[in-house]
Amino acid sequence: MTFKNPHALVDTQWLADHLDAPDVRVIDATYFLPVEGKTARDAYMETRIPGAQFFDVDDIADEKSPLPHMVPSAEKFSSRVRKLGLGDGVRMVVYDSRNSCCAAARVWWTFRYFGYEDIAVLDGGLGKWIAEGRRVEEGPVEPVQERHFTPRINHFIIRDKQKMLNNIERKREQVVDARSAERYRGEGTEPWNVHKVGRIPNSHNVPFDSLIDVENGGTFKTAKEISSIFEKAGIDPRKPMVASCGSGVTASVLAFAAYLLGNKDAAVYDGSWAEWGSSDDTPVE
């Protein structure tokens, strides 16, 4: 069994071979939760893959929303990525500093939401790159030439609260929760300001890090292994599904994995538990 969309995942050797290609752009999507007390931009300045541009997940977001890092308007997204030299006609590769690539998958999904398909995730991320002794850089970033980005919003791969509420009754889509088993059961601590714990009714649990092979440089597990993990959780990743998590970041890992297996319309509930757990009109199990 092999991935149906293998182009979305590139290994470190591929990137090393193409790092200096004129049409390749590298994106550092490192992200930390507020409770972790770390700054992603500082981590980027300390160590990054040469030429990588920093994509700030919290900044390139909807500043009018009270929820964390919701997708921004097409105008804001286009303006911000253009200044990073990320635009039409280039091949993008995104990574983060965590081997489980949670934020890299979020940035991959965000570009796809705005209609850009020529983007891949670096398998194993910065951790594997460094472990292999590949070159890195630090310090101030060289200015880049701006590049026009044309947004074409893909409404098929995003869900809001109302659509999630409707789905509880209609059950047209499988709902899969990327949080830990403890948080899924309502036993863990939520990092966001919510007044409810538990899960969305009828949802299934596939912790995002269960798809990562920590014994093999933090790369994604094989197609057969990932498919089996979904199926054991009661999910057919090739059928309509929407992923949720704490705030829409790790849910993107599940959407990415489903995409690898052939499901190009696997969606993300953007507000996730940060919205569901803070709303008065949302049922929980």
Q: Do both 119 and 65 map to the same domain?
A: yes
Tell me if 137 is assigned to some domain.
no
Q: What is the pLDDT of residues 209-258, one digit of tens each?
A: 999 998 888 899 999 999 999 999 999 999 999 999 999 999 999 999 99
Tell me if 54 is assigned to some domain.
yes
Q: Do both 124 and 166 map to the same domain?
A: no
- At 189, is the pLDDT very low, low, confident or very high (cuts 50, 70, 90)? confident
Q: Do both 165 and 121 map to the same domain?
A: no
Tokens (6 digits) for 264: 């190009």
* Mean pLDDT for the stretch of residues 110-136: 97
pLDDT of residue 188: 80
Q: Do both 118 and 167 map to the same domain?
A: no
Q: What is the pLDDT of residues 66-89, one digit of tens each?
A: 999 999 999 999 999 999 999 999
Tell me if 283 is assigned to some domain.
no
Q: Are 93 and 29 in contact (CB under 8 A)?
A: no
Tell me if 26 is assigned to some domain.
yes
Q: Do both 226 and 180 map to the same domain?
A: yes
pTM (predicted TM-score): 0.97
Residue 122 has pLDDT above 70, yes or no: yes
Tell me if 52 is assigned to some domain.
yes
| Greatest mean pLDDT range, 36-40, 155-159, 211-215 | 155-159
102 is catalytic: no
Between 39-43, 83-87, 232-236, 270-274, the lowest mean confidence (pLDDT) is in 39-43
Tell me if 122 is assigned to some domain.
yes
How many angstroms separate the CA atoms of 55 and 60, rounded? 7
Q: Do both 182 and 67 map to the same domain?
A: no
How many angstroms separate the CA atoms of 80 and 274, rounded? 25
Higher-pLDDT residue of 232, 191: 232
pLDDT of residue 159: 99
Which residues form the domain of 178? 155-276
Tokens (6 digits) for 102: 């949670």
* Mean pLDDT for the stretch of residues 11-36: 94
Residue 283 has φ and ψ, to the nearest 5°, of: -75, 155
Q: What CATH number is attached to the domain comprising 59?
A: 3.40.250.10
Residue 100 has pLDDT above 80, yes or no: no
Q: Do both 13 and 109 map to the same domain?
A: yes
- At 102, is the pLDDT very low, low, confident or very high (cuts 50, 70, 90)? confident
SS3 track for the chain: CCCCCHHHEECHHHHHHHCCCCCEEEEECCCCCHHHCCCHHHHHHHCECCCCEECCCCCCCCCCCCCCCCCCCHHHHHHHHHHCCCCCCCEEEEECCCCCCHHHHHHHHHHHHCCCCCEEEECCHHHHHHHCCCCCECCCCCCCCCCCCCCCCCHHHEECHHHHHHHHHHCCCEEEECCCHHHHCCCCCCCCCCCCCCCCCCCEECCHHHHEEHHHCCEECCHHHHHHHHHHCCCCCCCCEEEECCCCCCHHHHHHHHHHCCCCCCEEECCHHHHHCCCCCCCCC
Count of structural domains, the chain: 2
Q: What is the pLDDT of residues 125-149, one digit of tens each?
A: 999 999 999 999 999 998 999 999 9
Q: Do both 116 and 159 map to the same domain?
A: no
Tell me if 10 is assigned to some domain.
yes
- At 92, is the pLDDT very low, low, confident or very high (cuts 50, 70, 90)? very high
Please pick, among 245, 249, 261, 266, the residue that the annotation labels catalytic: 245
Q: Do both 201 and 259 map to the same domain?
A: yes
Q: Do both 171 and 120 map to the same domain?
A: no
Tell me if 141 is assigned to some domain.
no
* Mean pLDDT for the stretch of residues 259-277: 98
- At 99, is the pLDDT very low, low, confident or very high (cuts 50, 70, 90)? low
pLDDT of residue 192: 85
pLDDT of residue 127: 94
